[in-house]
Structure 1
Amino acid sequence: MSKIESIFKSCLEPKEVYKGGKNIPASNKKLYKLSSNENPLGASPKAVAAIKKAAENIDLYPDQTDIRLREALVQDFDGQLAADQFICGNSGSELIDMLLRAFINENDEVIYSNPCFLPYSVFSRWYGAKLIDIPLTNPNYHLDTEGILNAITDKTKIIFLTSPNNPTGTYIPRSVLDDFLSRIPKNVIVVFDEVYRHFADAEDYITALPYVKAGHNIIAINSFSKTYGLAGQRIGYCYTTSTIANYIRQIHKPFLLPITSIEAAIGALNDKGFVEETVKTVKEGRAYLSSEFDKLGITYWPTQGNFFIVDPPLPEIEFANKLMEQGIMVRPVSQFGAPGKVRITVGNQEANHALIQALEKIKPD
Structure 2
Amino acid sequence: MKKDIQSIFKPHLMPKEVYKGGKNIPPSDKKIYKLSSNENPLGASPKAVKAMKAAIGKIDLYPDQTDMRLREALVQDFDGQLTANQFICGNSGSEVIDMILRAFINEGDEVIYSNPCFLPYSVFSRWYGAEQIDVPLLQPNYDLDVEGILNAITERTKIIFLTSPNNPTGTYIPKPVLDDFLNRIPKNIVVVLDEVYRHFADADDYVTALPYVLEGHNVIGLNSFSKTYGLAGQRIGYGYTTETIANYIRLIQKPFLLPLTSIEAAIGALNDTDFIAETVKTVLEGRKYLAKAFDELGIRYWPSQANFFIIDPPLPEMEFTDKMMEEGIMVRPVSQFGAPGKVRITVGNQEANEALIKALRRLMP
**TM-score under structure 1 length normalisation:** 0.99
Residue 191 of structure 1: SS of its match in structure 2?
Answer: strand
1:308 correspondence with 2:323? no
User: What are the within-5 Å matches in structure 2 for residues 238-249 of structure 1?
Assistant: 238-249=239-250
Distance 1:357 1:314 in 2: 16
Distance 1:256 1:173 in 2: 35
Distance 2:290 2:124 in 1: 34
User: What are the within-5 Å matches in structure 2 for residues 181-196 of structure 1?
Assistant: 181-196=182-197
Give 1:2 deviation, angstroms. 5.0
Q: Which residue identity lines up with residue 100 of structure 2 in the other structure?
A: L
Give 1:345 deviation, angstroms. 0.1
Distance 1:7 1:65 in 2: 35
Aligned partner of 2:26 in structure 1 is 25
Residue 286 of structure 1: SS of its match in structure 2?
Answer: helix
Aligned partner of 1:221 in structure 2 is 222
1:87 correspondence with 2:110? no
Distance 1:2 1:306 in 2: 51
Residue 106 of structure 1: SS of its match in structure 2?
Answer: coil
Aligned partner of 2:262 in structure 1 is 261
Residues 204-231 of structure 1: per-residue CA shift (max 9 Å, x gap): 0000000000000011110000000000
Report runs of 4+ in structure 1 exceeding 2 Å deviation.
Answer: none
Give 1:157 deviation, angstroms. 0.2
Give 1:57 deviation, angstroms. 0.5
Q: Which residue identity lines up with residue 138 of structure 2 in the other structure?
A: T
Residue 192 of structure 1: SS of its match in structure 2?
Answer: strand
Distance 1:44 1:177 in 2: 32
Give 1:26 deviation, angstroms. 1.0
Residue 124 of structure 1: SS of its match in structure 2?
Answer: helix
Residue 183 of structure 2: SS of its match in structure 1?
Answer: helix
CA RMSD of aligned residues (A): 0.6
Distance 2:4 2:186 in 1: 43
Aligned partner of 2:37 in structure 1 is 36
Residue 221 of structure 2: SS of its match in structure 1?
Answer: strand
Give 1:14 deviation, angstroms. 1.3
Q: Which residue identity lines up with residue 207 of structure 1 in the other structure?
A: T
Residues 259-315 of structure 1: per-residue CA shift (max 9 Å, x gap): 000000000000000000000000000000000000000100000000000000100
Residue 160 of structure 1: SS of its match in structure 2?
Answer: strand
Distance 1:33 1:108 in 2: 39
Residue 195 of structure 1: SS of its match in structure 2?
Answer: coil
Distance 1:14 1:112 in 2: 20
1:232 correspondence with 2:228? no
Q: Which residue identity lines up with residue 39 of structure 1 in the other structure?
A: N
Distance 1:67 1:99 in 2: 19
Distance 1:147 1:87 in 2: 30
Paired residue total? 364
Distance 2:310 2:12 in 1: 31
Distance 1:120 1:161 in 2: 10
Residue 140 of structure 1: SS of its match in structure 2?
Answer: coil
Aligned partner of 1:342 in structure 2 is 343
Aligned partner of 1:330 in structure 2 is 331
Q: Which residue identity lines up with residue 5 of structure 2 in the other structure?
A: I
Residues 187-218 of structure 1: per-residue CA shift (max 9 Å, x gap): 00001100000000000000000000000001
Residue 211 of structure 2: SS of its match in structure 1?
Answer: helix
Distance 2:201 2:135 in 1: 24
Residue 300 of structure 1: SS of its match in structure 2?
Answer: coil
**TM-score under structure 2 length normalisation:** 0.99
Aligned partner of 1:275 in structure 2 is 276
Distance 1:86 1:13 in 2: 33
Give 1:173 deviation, angstroms. 0.3
Aligned partner of 2:110 in structure 1 is 109
Residue 311 of structure 2: SS of its match in structure 1?
Answer: strand
Q: Which residue identity lines up with residue 7 of structure 2 in the other structure?
A: S
Aligned partner of 2:12 in structure 1 is 11
